[in-house]
Homo-oligomer: A and B are copies of this chain.
Amino acid sequence: MTTDQHIALQDLDLFCRHAFLAVGADQATADAATRAMLHGTTFGVDSHGVRLLPHYLKALQGGRLNRSPLLQKVGGFGAVEVLDADNAQGAVGAYHGMDRAVELARQFGLGAVAIRNSSHFGPAGAYSLAAAQAGFIGISFCNSDSFVRLHDGAMRFHGTNPISVAVPVQGGDPWFLDMATSAIPYNRVQLYRSLEVRLPEAVASDAAGVDTTDPNAAEMLAPLGGEFGFKGAALAGVAEIFSAVLTGMKLSFDILPMGGPDFSTPRQMGAFVLALNPEAFLAPENFDAGMRRYLQVLRDSPARQDCRVMAPGDREWEISRIRAEKGVILDPVTAKEFRVLAETLGIAPLA
């Protein structure tokens, strides 16, 4: 396998499933974890794509993640449920939680699920999109170990705490937002280090919280918003309160680092998902007409010079169609890791 070879998404899907089963994860874990990573890889969110496979395998082998989790409803009231994910890989609880939120929304018009004892859940958009594809508005939040300073702060305080919202569109792709509440993703810093490129202004700071454009000096990320970073920090706070406080799980600054060295202790992370049934609010044809007009005016609206106006998700849907047809090229590090995995786990390598 050369590093510039396109690999079909279904081949990646199979490889990941086999790898999970080979380390003793149960079928539900293999299914959910693979599905979430494939969401990332399909939509071009490669930081949360299949490159995470070796990480998850290590956490399953180390005991951080439970290979045979028993998910249980442990609380709730009305249109709210509390789900204990039993230290499952993060996607297991998040997909299950969103399935439950959708069922609650069918019954009550909307429903929320607080997920306890979860872990890194990958791309937040995987779960909101699952709701939208079932005809519901989906919202998902997660916090993560700290990388992002407060607007006026000089400490890694919040995680990149994503917020995702997906909205069904009759006869079209869902409207689809999946954003970190930091100015840039941390992997951008890592990328710029390897490329030896300066960072944009005001997106990262040194250990004292002083802005730096040197990726090697970057110790923390700025919150979204630049001069108005108090807004980004507050949005990170919303994700934090929903995913950590409402679940009774760890705050970002208390979470064990994703990258270890400890791979045996469960990280006690929370996550939060919410679904709304548009039909509880208005007739489906009126909702659909509203979304259609909104998107039509948006896509037909004048662009700034050399720009193209897109709705949230449009770029991702385009990438997904290209990748579904052509496959994807793995980054060299991941490609190499997958070759090693195939050998050590005794599973079929990628073609």
Q: Mark A274-304, 1 if CB is under 8 A from B, else 0.
A: 0011111110001100110110011001111
Stretch at the interface among A45-53, A87-95, A231-239: A231-239
Stretch at the interface among A8-16, A77-85, A189-197, A336-344: A77-85
Q: Is A75 an interface residue, CB under 8 A from the partner?
A: yes
With A154-B303, A238-B177, A287-B245 already in contact, the answer to whether A109 and B281 are too (CB < 8 A) is no
Interface centre among A165, A248, A309 (most CB of B within 10 A): A309
Q: Is A5 an interface residue, CB under 8 A from the partner?
A: no
A282 to B248, CA, bound (A): 7
A245 B153 Cβ-Cβ under 8 A: no
Which among B77, B109, B232 is the interface contact of A77 at CB below 8 angstroms?
B109
Which among B152, B246, B290 is the interface contact of A281 at CB below 8 angstroms?
B246
A205 to B179, CA, bound (A): 24
New A-B pairs, 19, CB < 8 Å, besides A79-B79, A110-B111: A77-B277, A77-B279, A80-B276, A108-B108, A114-B281, A152-B308, A155-B301, A165-B234, A175-B241, A205-B304, A209-B303, A209-B305, A224-B224, A233-B312, A244-B294, A245-B294, A246-B278, A246-B287, A253-B297
List the interface of chain A (C-beta within 8 A of B): 75-80, 82, 107-112, 114, 137, 149-150, 152-155, 157, 165, 167, 175, 177, 179, 183-184, 200, 205, 208-210, 224-228, 230-235, 237-238, 240-241, 244-248, 251, 253, 276-282, 286-287, 290-291, 293-294, 297-298, 301-305, 307-312
